[in-house]
A = this chain, B = another copy of it.
Amino acid sequence: MSLHENFWCVIPAGGVGSRLWPLSRAEAPKFLLDLTDSGESLLKTTWNRLLPLASPDRIMVVTGMSHRDSVCEQLPDLLRDNLALEPSPKDSSAAIGLAAALILRRDPDAIIGSFAADHVIRGSVLFERAIRTAVQAAESGSIVTVGIRPTHPATGFGYIKAGEPRTDIATFDVYNVRKFVEKPSRATASKYLSRGDSLWNAGMFISRADVLLAQMAESEPELVAGINKIADAWGTPELARVREQVWPTLKKIAIDYSVAEPAARAGKMLCVAAHFEWDDVGDFASVANLLTRGRAKDLAVLGSQARVLSESSSGIVVAQQDRLVTVVGMQDIVVVDTPDALLVTNKAHAQDVKQLVNRLRDSETEVL
């Protein structure tokens, strides 16, 4: 049973996740990884999470052309018509905008929800409840985001400052969005937590497809014009030519800036305050925390072949190889052992892996 006859899910599957190098690679981006030791990629888990909300004929995946085969392998039930391929990465506005434009041409009353392919969510009942509420709120023409009730003063997430409750829409959990706040300092995050008026921005957007595109067009008219050109050519012999011509000209911009923030300033943004566990798994510190379920003194191990022996250590070992990994006296350590590259860092420096990857890119190494 689907949630709503006009509800469509969009899964933008982009982003390498360079802070997860050397596990993540250009050809093994984060959404194709299994970061929770579940035996499934994050993409597959995302797909499965959405199935109670929409049947496969209304789940669209947007991904890079180079990932087509991997995505189809992961998602055998994905319909060919529901796979939108990007010639090059153009950030989330282009990806979600294109999906919205394609869906709109099939279903003028479509409500779309976009859900990142590489986040981790626990608590499917709470997730479904939140999305049902969001769809209900989106029916009236609002753009709706989902905010997670914070459990600690996280500095790695963006925040949503909630305004008045919208009991006219739902008895519980729907609020006006006052503003979005980028990753805050520890002090600011603590203040948010104690005030209790802010939510983690889970990066989900639910709205009518036409409303989303209209909002995007207000701030980025050329981008939406380009998206519409491609969507008009979709399924015709003209597609390749049009896409080749238009796609490279599209502006790279996150949907947060093209849609969410302007809509919030205009008072058109709502949020659903949700209670499920959510993590965008931005770095190995997050992976470790997820696997140890927050027990900071544990050493998490990821990898079915892993043989790990440790003494007085905590953190995470990711072992892709069948060899012995030993860790002695290291707190919050991060060890990632892959066939052609090894990373040793710690949780405090997990974000700095991005700089390392940038250096590797500059050196044109083969291990990216």
Contact = CB atoms under 8 A, between A and B. Distances in A.
A356 interface: yes
A210 to B, nearest CB: 46
A355 interface: yes
B311 A326 contact: no
A340 B325 CA distance: 9
A335 B328 contact: no
B356 A330 contact: no
Interface in A334-358: 335, 337, 339-346, 348-349, 352-353, 355-356
A343 B326 contact: yes
A330 B344 contact: yes
B329 A359 contact: no
A1 interface: no
Contact of A325 (B323, B342, B353): B342
B333 A344 contact: yes
A367 interface: yes
Contact of A329 (B311, B323, B330, B349): B349
Contacts of A344: 325-328, 330, 333, 335, 344
Contact of A367 (B324, B337, B339): B324
Interface string A10-33: 000000000000100000000000
Nearest to A325: B342
B309 A327 contact: no
A359 B333 CA distance: 21
A328 B311 contact: no
A352 B323 contact: no
A22 B326 CA distance: 9
Given A344-B333, A344-B344, A359-B309, A349 B324 contact: no
Q: Of A328, A340, A345, A365, which is in contact with the most chain B CB atoms at under 10 Å from its CB? A: A328
Give the interface size class of chain A: 20 to 34
Contacts of A333: 344
A112 B342 CA distance: 48
A170 interface: no
A79 B346 CA distance: 52
A328 B343 contact: yes
A58 B342 CA distance: 47
A340 B356 contact: no
A22 B327 CA distance: 12
A329 B345 contact: yes
A147 to B, nearest CB: 32
A230 B337 CA distance: 50
Contacts of A346: 329-330
Contacts of A330: 344-346, 349
Interface of A: 22, 309, 311-312, 323-330, 333, 335, 337, 339-346, 348-349, 352-353, 355-356, 359-360, 363, 365, 367
17 contacts: A22-B324, A312-B352, A323-B341, A323-B342, A324-B340, A324-B342, A326-B342, A326-B343, A328-B344, A328-B349, A328-B352, A328-B353, A329-B352, A330-B344, A330-B346, A330-B349, A344-B344
